Structure 1
Amino acid sequence: MKKTEQLAHRLREVILNGTWIADTNYKDLLNNVDWKIATTKFQSLNTISALAQHIHYYINGIKNVFLNGKLEIRDKDSFDFPLITSQNGWETFLNRFWSDTEKLADLIGKMEEKKLNQTFVDERYGTYLRNIEGMIEHNYYHLAQIILIKKIILYN
């Protein structure tokens, strides 16, 4: 399997269908959460919804780099989202999250291997490989937070 295919597989694994690292993934974890739980605030922690939207923000932003070569996201905006106020709004977001993840995974899997070592938009961001691997690690970091927050909310 090519390195690009491995990276695409790892992205799908953490978001859509894997259980190897965390024994779950975003899709399995979040499809069983209703909008009220997803938006429940516990002390100073982020909500499940905010963390999921944060992860989607980066997935969608990196997807757009693959599609148009432009990095149009900023860290300072990565938690700035409209509130989810209904089950329909939550499900609409989740469907977009799954769809954008699959699109990005397809783009990663189909890219030429040599592009992995090329500059990602600007030299200060490093290579495509660094950004893809960093995004996957970032996904696991927040997945663990969501797991804990969900347990706190459900069993508190």
Structure 2
Amino acid sequence: MKRNETLADRLREVLLDGYWIANTNYKKQIQSITWEEATQKIGTLNTIAALTFHINYYLAGLLSAFEKGKLEISDKYSFDLPPIQSASEWDQMVTEFLTNAEKFVATVAQMNDAHFDEPFIDEKYGTLLRNIEGVIEHSYYHLGQVSLINKMIQESKI
């Protein structure tokens, strides 16, 4: 299997339809909760909505960078979630996340394997491969948080 296919499969696993590593994925987690649950604060933890926004921020930013050849996102804005005050606002966020996840997977699947060892935008960011692997690792890290926060919310209802 080519690297582009392997990476796309790993991204699909964590974002859209996998169960192998975490026994869940973002799509399953965020489609199974209400907007009230997504915005429910548990202590000092981020909300599920904030974590969803955070991962989507990077997916959208990297998709733009792939298209424009310029990185226009900054870590300092990655948690700047606008308030969510309704089911329709949460549904819109979920739809945007899933659309970007699908686009990101499809884009990686179409990449030329020779480009994975090239610098990503600027040499200071490392290679394209390193950055895509970073998206996978970062997504699993926060998926674990989403899953645990969701369990805490569901257990608080019992």
TM-score by structure 1 length?
A: 0.98
Note the residue ranges of structure 2 that are not aligned, 5 or more in a row: none
Choose 103-112 or 31-40, whichever is displaced more. Answer: 103-112
Deviation at 1:5, TM superposition (A): 1.0
Residue 78 of structure 1 is matched in structure 2 by 78
Residue 122 of structure 1 is matched in structure 2 by 122
Q: Distance in 2 between matches of 1:110 and 1:125?
A: 21
Deviation at 1:22, TM superposition (A): 0.3
Equivalences, count: 156
Q: Distance in 2 between matches of 1:66 and 1:106?
A: 12
* Percentage of pairs with the same residue: 49
Residue 32 of structure 2 is matched in structure 1 by 32
Cα deviation per residue 1:70-126 (whole Å; 9 max; x = unaligned)? 111101111012111111111111111111111111111111101000110111100
Deviation at 1:151, TM superposition (A): 1.1
Residue 139 of structure 1 is matched in structure 2 by 139
- After TM superposition, the structure 1 = structure 2 runs for residues 94-109 of structure 1, keeping only pairs within 5 Å, are 94-109=94-109
Q: Distance in 1 between matches of 2:10 and 2:3?
A: 10
Q: Distance in 2 between matches of 1:81 and 1:73?
A: 14
Residue 90 of structure 1 is matched in structure 2 by 90
TM-score by structure 2 length?
A: 0.96
Q: Distance in 1 between matches of 2:12 and 2:69?
A: 22
Residue 154 of structure 2 is matched in structure 1 by 154
Cα deviation per residue 1:52-83 (whole Å; 9 max; x = unaligned)? 11011011111111111111110111101211
Q: Distance in 2 between matches of 1:98 and 1:87?
A: 16
Q: Give structure 1 regions of 4+ aligned residues with deviation exceeding 4 angstroms.
A: none
Q: Which amino acid aligns with 2:144?
A: A
Q: Distance in 2 between matches of 1:27 and 1:106?
A: 16
Note the residue ranges of structure 1 that are not aligned, 5 or more in a row: none
Match of 1:7, SS? helix
